[in-house]
Amino acid sequence: MNLQNKVAIVTGGAMGNGLGIVKTFLKYGANVVIIDCAEILDDVVKEFQNEGMPVKGYLCDIRNRTQLDEIMNEVSLQYGKIDIVVNNAGVAQLGTFDTMSDAIRDFHFDINIKGTWNVTQASLPYMKEGSIINLSSVTGPMVADPGEVAYATTKAAILGFTKALAMELVGKKIRVNAILPGYIMTPMVEGIALDTNETEPNTVIEGIAEGIPMKRLGTIEELGELAAFLASNASSYITGQGIVIDGGSTLPETKSVGV
């Protein structure tokens, strides 16, 4: 893949899947702007910069549309354009539907849906062509477990957003696609494992891996490679699609049946 001289916005790029995307984009020559609300952002950006990598970071909550507008304007003034937008930032908190508070519901909706909307709308005036990549999930569009109603709802919405936006922007030579990860080894997955079993989270991870045909979780670098493909001209005839990366976890019809 060739991302030379491309300017990429990556939300939630300080850790997890976002960090894998940032690393891969840099490998292929992109200039990367990370937008994240995590305090670790400054350390991550400094580490990349110390290695001579073209990275900038903005501490921002993507629910703040005014701040996003200011950031996109500043990026445009520095680079003259935005070529790639990756809406990776998202949250997941397990909780049963009948006991979930409006606050937790809105936390998911405001960040996962409205945040993605905000970042995309704020960046569009500076995109003449390019690629928008939204992080959906297999959870929601394809599968779900108990306790995931809020998260699954938002990730299904992101896939619908992707398809509708792709139709609106195709005439402007802007492609819009979604990545649907299964289990990738990220802090979010580690947190879910810890919530499930505080004393033995590694056992939970091992159990998850056992249910995946490839018998392992994916890496953030593997997801980053898929994002780089969708960001590059190598995927120039792909738009409005949801691409699954899950090690085959959604393939088995009945997981308990062996051959």
Q: How far apart are the first and last CA of the chain?
A: 39
Radius of gyration (C-alpha) of the chain in whole angstroms:
18
d(CA 135, CA 139): 11
Structure tokens at 235: 């995927």
The residue with tokens 């995309």 is 120
d(CA 59, CA 150): 26
Structure tokens at 135: 């992080």
Between the alpha carbon of residue 86 and those of residues 58, 63, 179, 250, the distances in Å are 15, 16, 10, 24
* Cα torsion through 253, 16, 20, 114, rounded to 10: 80
d(CA 132, CA 85): 5
d(CA 162, CA 85): 12
- Which residue of the set 28, 126, 151, 183 is catalytic? 151
Active site residue 151: yes
Catalytic center residues = 151
